[in-house]
Structures are given as structure tokens and as C-alpha cells.
Amino acid sequence: MRIRKAVIPAAGLGVRFLPATKALPKEMIPIVDTPTIQYIIQEAVDSGIEDILIITGRDKKPIEDHFDKSVALEEHLKEKGKTGELEMLHRISDMAQIFYVRQQEPRGLGHAVYCARRFVGDEPFAVLLGDDIVRSEVPCLKQLMDLYDEVQATVIGVQEVPPADVSKYGILDAEPVRENVYRVRDLVEKPAPEEAPSRLAIMGRYIIEPAVFDILARTKPGAGGEIQLTDALRELAGPGEMYGLVFQGRRYDVGDKLGYLKATVEFALARPDLAGQFRSYLETLVRERRGS
């Protein structure tokens, strides 16, 4: 079955980016001049997704406003003859068919995904977490969708991490099928380095079978008193097949301050309108710091 729908959980409080997130959803913090969630939606659109559901929470209205039309702003740009900016706004409001549902209380990622059950229905669906942005020739989600077309089973996007970092992630216990493809036996949430079954870390991209909703409905709160998606995926992996794909591309953890700064610098250096001057500035800054 073809993957047509994507779910983007965006109900988190963004505590790691306080004070910026006191009044601004963390998903709207820009990388250069583009909100992080727009990169995620663009990846879904570029992968062929038709319908997108964003799981929101209280104080997340700026996300809806961003992807809606802004009549007053569009009229202003039209009057000023700013056709480039006007076309950009049209591309944003027309980029996808976007729906919203509110997670009324913060009960974890598993509960956020469960909120999408009526939107998804009985078909497999994609989940994209907003803290992970991937730059790649083939969109990261499309890579997962291509493997799903082959295996017709849940697919999890993973990348290898250093041993010291395995305790930060959900880790796969898996056996290799071929290069970059693994059959999942189990999922271990944030294991100690000496107990980790591998260094294959879950990186915020999933294609999930709809049977997960029945599992989530009876999943008890786990770590942090929240309903964990990983717990439901562990049960889903039991009776059926589940695969891990080491996707190609550079991944940025923009939910982490250092990861966010790396993304900002590298995305700016990839921009034709900024790269030359920005690179010159960075080179000058490095020389000055070395000389001080």
C-alpha cells in the first residue's frame, strides 16, 4: 500500500530552548529564515506525501498561522511590488494539505501519535519528528518509503552513533539483511553503552503500520510517566516484521542547542545569497580568535 499520510508531533513545550520558547513554539524557531517545521513539511511533500497532520498543543497557533494565507501581508507586498516575497508566501500556504489536532495534555510521543488515529484510518503512515532535520539528495522519508514498498512492514530510520552517545537514543537490537537494512528484533530505550545491543539509533523518521493504534490504546505510561512510542513499537515488532534503515544524509538534532547552531551555520553556507559573505565572516572570525 502506498504511503499517503504523514503525522508530525508538535505539541512539546520546548523547554530546552527557553526563554525563546516561552512565547514561540519551538517548531517556529528559524534556521536562517525558515522555521524548522517548514523543513520537515518540505521533506514530506518532496517524498510524495499528500496529507499532513500536525499534532499541536496549547500556544501552538503560530504554526497554523504560518501555513495559512495572510491576506493583509499579501496585499501589502502586492502594493509594494514585492513579487518575490509574495510568491514565497503563496508557496508556503500552498505547499501541502495540512490538518491539525490538539493533544490536550502532554502524555508523551506515543499518545501524540495515538491522537492521529482518525486521520490515519487503516493505512500505513509516516511519522516525522521535528527535532531532526536531514539534508540529503533523496529525501530521508522517501528512502524509508522506498524500503516500505519492498518489505510492506514498519520501517524505522536509523543512523550509527558513537558508543558514548547510545544512552541518548532508542537503540535497535537487529540483524543485518543487506547493506544499510536491518531486521529489528527489539528496541532498547537509552541503554547504557556497555549494555547497548548496537549503535543503531532511532532518528525521528518512521513508516508505521496502523496496528500500532490498538497497541497504543492499551500501552501503559513508561519512562517519565508518559506513553512511549518505543514501547508500542516493541510490541508491534513482536508478531510482525520491522526494519531499520540506515538512511543517507546529514542529520541535525535541532532540539539541541549545539545541533541547532551547526544546522544554522551549514544551511547558511549552502545558501547562494549568503554563502560568500558568511564564509568570509567565519574565516575572519577564526583568524581573529586564533590571534587573540
Amino acid identity, residue 194?
E
Closest CA to 96 of 33, 31, 38: 38
d(CA 171, CA 187): 6
Which pLDDT tens digit goes with each residue over 244-279? 999 999 999 998 999 999 999 999 999 999 999 999
- Whether residues 215 and 158 fall in one domain: yes
Amino acid identity, residue 212?
V
Which pLDDT tens digit goes with each residue over 20-72? 999 899 999 999 999 999 999 999 999 999 899 999 988 899 999 999 999 99
Name the β-bridge partners of 206: 127, 156
Q: Which domain holds residue 272?
A: 256-292
d(CA 4, CA 184): 24
pLDDT at 251: 94
Evaluate whether 7 touches 120 at the Cβ level (below 8 Å).
yes
- Whether residues 171 and 291 fall in one domain: no
- Whether residues 276 and 188 fall in one domain: no
pLDDT at 223: 66
Mean pLDDT of 3-22: 91
- Whether residues 173 and 103 fall in one domain: yes
Specify the pTM: 0.93
- Whether residues 285 and 189 fall in one domain: no
Amino acid identity, residue 122?
D
- Whether residues 267 and 224 fall in one domain: no
Here the CATH number for the domain that contains residue 184 is 3.90.550.10
Mean pLDDT of 112-128: 96
- Whether residues 271 and 194 fall in one domain: no
Residue 62: asked if its preceding bond is cis (omega within 30°), the reply is no
- Whether residues 149 and 262 fall in one domain: no
d(CA 236, CA 213): 10
Query: Which residue's entry shows cell 490515519?
Result: 120
Evaluate whether 155 touches 144 at the Cβ level (below 8 Å).
yes
Distance of CA 188 to the CA centre of its chain: 20
- Whether residues 217 and 193 fall in one domain: yes
pLDDT band at residue 222 under the 50/70/90 scheme: confident
- Whether residues 169 and 290 fall in one domain: no
